[in-house]
């Protein structure tokens, strides 16, 4: 495999738009069961906040050496300010739309003995006014970038994704979409979408053979006018569908420690290598390698260019 294109990646500018989250971890020791209910008592010893959702995609893009601008919606609260501060620390140019009526999406995980014992989510859907502001920000920024990444976690920031795709197409900028749900018509006109196995099943139904998957994937690609469609398949690797047909790469052999955030890393690696000028399948190979590295780490982690060489 050729060397990672670090110099071209460093010149690449990627605009990430989507659902922003704060991943909050409370790590502790479990030594007894609560007398109040049959649950473990966790004595918290360490706390850690990490960027999640679309913000984790941007974090991975910067970690791989490219430049990232991040657009999304946060609340006027501690979690929103934490996302802004962490973005600045990571070198991300964050353009956050602040909605005073909205809590920032926060996923709080309680960890004991290196295992997740509990997750508590805080989230609400942004209103139309915020989405108008988000679209205006995106339209103002698109032309300064080589690639647009739309990271959809179904939290509402991409409720009007069609307009964002149209704006990018009008500017001649490629659009990568990490989709959610089954209503893929809304992603029509994107350059590539990257559903995982479950998301692809939601969109096209279950398949029993590779030929059946190929037929359905190519039909979906045609219906949505996509240049490419990448199905990420965990331990089965990744399969790319383009005009050239089907190209598959097996998963890297590794010990899986934690899959959270792996899709963000794959998306980031695909975006920066494609923005650097690599053909789709070469970009997929780097994305596959990056995904293989990140699942060996705990929590929403990042991969550096050095770890891929």
What does the radius of gyration of the chain's CA atoms come to, in whole angstroms?
19
Q: Encoding tokens for residue 175?
A: 């659009």
Output the six-digit token pair for 189.
Answer: 């006109």
Catalytic residues: 264
Nearest-angstrom CA–CA distance, 164 and 22: 24
Residue 71's nearest CA partner among 97, 90, 107 is: 97
């Amino acid at each position: 495999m050729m060397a990672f294109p670090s110099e071209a990646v460093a010149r690449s500018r990627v605009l990430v738009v989507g659902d922003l989250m704060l991943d909050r971890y409370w790590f502790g020791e479990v030594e007894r069961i609560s007398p109040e209910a049959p649950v473990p008592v966790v004595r918290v010893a360490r706390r850690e906040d990490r960027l999640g959702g679309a913000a984790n995609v941007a974090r991975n893009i910067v970690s791989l050496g490219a430049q990232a601008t991040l657009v999304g919606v946060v609340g006027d609260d501690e979690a929103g300010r934490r996302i802004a501060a962490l973005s600045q620390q990571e070198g991300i140019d964050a353009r956050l739309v602040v909605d005073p009526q909205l809590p920032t999406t926060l996923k709080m995980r309680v960890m004991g003995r290196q295992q997740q014992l509990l997750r508590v989510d805080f989230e609400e859907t942004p209103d139309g006014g915020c989405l108008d502001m988000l679209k205006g920000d995106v339209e103002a920024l698109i032309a300064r970038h080589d690639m647009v990444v739309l990271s959809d976690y179904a939290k509402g920031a991409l409720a009007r994704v069609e307009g964002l795709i149209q704006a990018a197409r009008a500017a001649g900028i490629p659009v990568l979409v990490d989709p959610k749900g089954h209503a893929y018509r809304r992603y029509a006109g994107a350059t590539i979408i990257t559903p995982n196995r479950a998301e692809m099943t939601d969109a096209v139904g279950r398949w029993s053979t590779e030929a059946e998957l190929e037929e359905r994937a190519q039909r979906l690609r045609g219906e949505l006018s996509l240049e490419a469609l990448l199905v990420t398949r965990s331990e089965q690797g990744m399969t790319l569908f383009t005009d050239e047909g089907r190209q598959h790469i097996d998963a890297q052999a590794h010990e899986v420690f934690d899959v959270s955030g792996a899709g963000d890393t794959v998306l980031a690696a695909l975006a920066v290598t494609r923005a650097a000028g690599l053909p789709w399948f070469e970009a997929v190979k780097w994305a596959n390698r990056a995904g293989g590295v990140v699942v060996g780490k705990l929590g929403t982690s990042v991969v550096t260019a050095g770890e891929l060489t």
